[in-house]
Structure formats: structure tokens, C-alpha cells
């Protein structure tokens, strides 16, 4: 919270004096800096290919690419406050409301021409970067969540298709939870969970619950919100057929699944190349997340390219953004499958919508809950996660935990306003 407060206060004081870090050489070549993180080395190599093609088509523009994997947003915010902010940088939808509100991004709307085809983007992804009728970012990719299931584990207990509803998922989990020696030591849980708000938000919405109210304050301590979360708690504490990664010595749901310690998990599309590379012997399939309360639901995560408002070379920065988010540029780097391209035409051309592993993620884009809920979301996340995990492991009832989380978050939000 202190980081956010410091960022906001200082931005208001220095907004007019920030200087972008692009440069022009004596030979008339403009250098545009772009910053982002790196999921793996393949992603970086593909991006470098795109930059080379861009430079070949735009000989008066050079691209300087910087990878920031440690505390990415803290670094970006610090540089925005100072004089070393990149011209173009990645921005997660989670963080976008704060930066759009404090006017440190350049609106892209004036530069977007009719032939750029905004209609080709998935609308919810594009809307995540809109503020006061202006577009501040163009989504480069997205992922939703889908159900991963171990085909061999299913066959061993007589299951031949994925669960369609949450009730079925719980029944499946009981069959798939294996205690081979009957000594209370479970070798395989039916379901692996990640007890983080970024994964549980759609469960809050399943029965009509809300994460925040119209003023941006916490609003998840309601019977509707608790009903969806209670399903997660009951499966963990009463059924005892689900586990967190930390319960089985894993660092993530993907790893837990790959190690065979959970027969089902709900993960993003990034898990597909991870599992293929790290656990090549596992035979798995994917399906849409089972319905909850008769409703389809999942999470949707997206990242955009945005422009520093104080860049000295907006034309060159726009050319880079439009190239990276254009059909050809997007197609070049989106082949790896770590995340899905945000243009519908590129999704189709690369065959993701027909690929059995990726199709459930593509389908989820139409109804997924964008991981975004206003500028106060970082505060809300911290308080929710602390208290939800406490309820999950039985330290307190869920309602008491959410009441504490909401009250503490709202006090912090009020103090920050």
C-alpha cells in the first residue's frame, strides 16, 4: 500500500516533468525503448524476430528491448516517477486502472485508424484498457482458465469424460483421490486448487456476488459471494479431495498436476507448454471450467502494450505498438502457445480455436471475468488471500475471514484516498 500511495502522490507532483527515454541519433535514427517481462527464453527469441522485421520495414527506427522479471511494476512505477521510463511497456489489466487514472499513459485513440481493425480484438480484452472513452492500451495476448485432467488417472477409476458441473467435479474428485496403502497418506488428490483471489473471483460471481461496489470498496462479504467460495472450502476441509500445491511440496498447480499429485487442476494456457516440456510423459486433456450454479465462468487475464505519456517520439512508439498488435506481428510471436493472441483472426489462423488443448481457453474469452477491479485491487488481493487461506486451513469460518478481509481492505482504501 505504501508503494501505491507514494507512486500516486509523487506522480501528481511531477506529472508534467517526466521525460521519456527514447532518443534520436545524429543520423536521424530514432531509438524506441520497450520493456516487459519474459515467461521463457522462447518468448524472448520470438519477440526479437518481430523487432528485427519491424526495424527492416522501418529503417529509421531502432528498438531497444529490456526484460524486467523482478518486481516489474515497481520498476516501471519508479521509472515513471523519475526520468527513465520506457517509451512502450507491458501493462497487465490488473494494474491498468491506476496508471490510466493518474494520467501517465498516452491515449492511443487519436492514432488508431479505421484500417487497424479494433473489431478484430476480443471486446472484453480491449475494454480492460479503456478509460473515459479513450483507449490506453492494445492487448497483446490473453489467457483464460480451463480444466486440465489426467487421462490415465481418469481411465483407472472408470471416468471417460471431464466433469461438466461443479457437483460432478466434486464427485470425480472423490473417485480420483487415492490412498493406496490406506494409511491416511494420499498419493493423488482429485483436485488441485490455488487459493488466490485471481483464481477465485469467478466463484464469487457464480451466485451473484461482487468483488467491489461502485465506489471501488470491498463488497465480497455477502451471502452470494460466500456461497461460491464455500464450495472450495468444503471440498478441501470436508471432502478432503483437494489440496494446495504447498500441501504436496509443489510450487504451482501446474507442477502439482505434472507430478501426478492432483488428477485435475484449473490452470491457464501457459501450463500447456510447461507440462509438455517439463513432464513429457503425462497424458492430459483440457476442458472448459465446470459450470457453477448452472453458469459458465472462468478468469481472463490480459496484457497490453501501452505508451509512456512523456515519450519524445510518439509517432515511432505508435508505429511499434501498431506493428506488434497488428495481424502479422502478433502472428509471429503467438506460435509458442504461452498465451493466446488477442486478435480473433490470428487465433483462427493459427488454429487455436480448433486445437483440442487450446479450444477451451478460446471459448472462455466470451464469458471470462477480466482480472481487473479498479485501482484498489492490489489492496483487496492482499487482504483476501491472507484471510481466505486462513479459512481454508480451518483457522476460522469463511464468513468471519471474509468479514475481516473486507473491513481491513476498506480501512486501507479509505486511508489511501
> Digits of tens for pLDDT over the chain (417 positions)?
444 444 444 444 444 443 444 455 667 899 999 999 987 667 778 888 899 999 999 999 999 999 998 999 999 999 998 878 899 999 999 999 999 998 999 999 998 987 788 999 988 999 999 999 999 999 999 999 999 999 999 999 999 999 999 999 999 999 999 987 777 789 999 999 999 999 999 999 999 999 999 888 999 999 999 999 999 999 999 999 999 999 999 999 999 999 999 999 999 999 999 999 999 999 999 999 999 999 999 999 999 999 999 999 999 999 999 999 999 889 887 876 667 999 999 999 999 999 999 999 999 998 999 999 998 999 999 999 999 999 999 999 999 999 999 999 999 999 987
**Mode of pairing for the β-strands spanning 88-92 and 299-307:** antiparallel
φ, ψ (nearest 5 deg) of residue 130: -105, 140
Name the residue ranges covered by the structural domains of the chain.
2-143+302-370, 144-299+374-416
Q: Which of 99, 68, 59 is CA-nearest to residue 308?
A: 99
Q: Hey, CA dihedral for 191, 196, 197, 199, is it positive or negative?
A: negative
Q: Which residues contact 142 (CB under 8 A, 6 or more apart)?
A: 122, 125, 300, 301, 302, 303, 339, 340, 342, 365
Any idea what DSSP says for residue 188?
Answer: B
**What is the rounded distance in angstroms from the CA atom of residue 369 to the CA atom of residue 314?**
32
Any idea what DSSP says for residue 368?
Answer: P
What CATH number belongs to 144-299+374-416?
Answer: 3.40.190.10
**Neighbour-count burial for 65-80, b at 16+ CB within 10 Å, e otherwise:** beebeeebbebbbbbb
Grid cell, residue 363, equals 471459448
Quote the pTM value.
0.88
Residue with cell 513432464: 279
Is 3.40.190.10 the CATH classification of the domain at 2-143+302-370? yes
Q: Which residues contact 156 (CB under 8 A, 6 or more apart)?
A: none
**Mode of pairing for the β-strands spanning 137-150 and 299-307:** antiparallel
Q: Which of 118, 197, 129 is CA-nearest to residue 382?
A: 197
Evaluate whether 2-143+302-370 and 144-299+374-416 have a shared fold: yes
Amino acid at each position: 500500500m505504501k508503494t501505491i500511495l507514494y507512486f500516486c502522490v509523487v506522480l501528481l507532483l511531477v506529472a508534467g516533468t517526466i521525460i521519456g527515454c527514447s532518443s534520436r541519433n545524429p543520423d536521424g535514427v530514432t531509438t524506441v525503448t520497450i520493456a516487459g517481462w519474459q515467461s521463457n527464453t522462447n518468448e524472448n527469441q520470438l519477440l526479437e524476430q518481430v523487432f528485427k522485421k519491424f526495424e527492416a520495414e522501418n529503417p529509421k527506427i531502432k528498438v531497444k528491448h529490456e526484460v524486467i522479471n523482478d518486481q516489474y511494476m515497481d520498476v516501471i512505477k519508479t521509472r515513471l516517477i523519475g526520468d527513465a521510463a520506457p517509451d512502450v511497456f507491458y501493462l497487465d489489466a490488473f494494474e491498468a486502472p491506476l496508471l490510466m487514472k493518474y494520467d501517465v499513459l498516452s491515449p492511443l485513440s487519436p492514432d488508431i485508424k479505421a484500417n487497424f481493425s479494433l473489431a478484430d480484438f476480443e471486446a472484453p480484452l480491449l475494454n480492460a484498457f479503456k478509460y473515459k472513452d479513450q483507449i490506453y492500451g492494445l492487448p497483446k495476448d490473453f489467457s483464460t482458465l480451463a480444466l486440465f485432467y489426467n487421462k490415465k488417472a481418469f481411465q483407472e477409476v472408470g471416468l471417460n469424460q471431464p466433469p461438466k458441473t461443479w457437483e460432478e467435479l466434486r464427485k470425480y474428485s472423490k473417485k480420483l483421490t487415492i490412498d493406496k496403502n490406506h494409511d491416511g497418506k494420499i498419493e493423488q488428490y482429485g483436485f488441485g486448487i490455488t487459493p488466490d483471489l485471481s483464481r477465485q473471483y469467478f466463484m464469487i460471481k457464480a451466485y451473484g456476488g461482487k468483488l467491489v461496489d461502485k465506489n471501488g470498496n470491498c463488497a465480497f462479504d455477502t451471502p452470494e459471494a460466500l456461497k461460491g467460495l464455500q464450495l472450495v472450502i468444503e471440498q478441501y476441509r470436508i471432502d478432503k479431495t483437494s489440496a494446495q500445491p504447498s500441501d504436496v511440496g509443489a510450487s504451482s498447480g501446474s507442477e502439482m498436476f505434472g507430478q501426478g499429485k492432483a488428477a485435475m487442476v484449473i490452470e491457464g494456457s501457459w501450463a500447456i507448454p510447461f507440462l509438455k516440456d517439463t513432464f513429457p510423459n503425462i497424458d492430459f486433456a483440457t476442458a472448459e471450467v465446470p459450470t457453477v450454479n448452472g453458469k459458465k465462468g472462468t478468469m481472463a487475464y490480459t496484457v497490453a502494450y501501452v505508451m509512456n505519456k512523456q515519450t519524445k517520439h510518439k509517432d515511432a512508439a505508435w508505429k511499434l505498438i501498431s506493428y506488434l498488435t497488428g495481424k502479422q506481428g502478433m502472428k509471429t510471436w503467438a506460435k509458442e502457445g504461452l498465451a493466446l493472441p488477442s486478435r480473433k483472426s490470428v487465433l483462427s489462423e493459427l488454429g487455436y480455436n480448433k486445437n483440442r488443448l487450446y479450444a477451451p481457453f478460446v471459448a472462455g474469452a466470451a464469458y471470462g471475468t477480466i482480472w481487473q477491479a479498479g485501482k484498489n485491487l492490489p489492496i483487496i488481493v492482499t487482504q483476501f488471500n491472507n484471510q481466505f487461506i486462513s479459512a481454508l486451513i480451518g483457522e476460522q469460518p469463511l464468513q468471519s475471514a471474509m468479514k475481516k478481509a473486507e473491513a481491513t481492505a476498506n480501512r486501507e482504501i479509505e486511508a489511501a484516498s
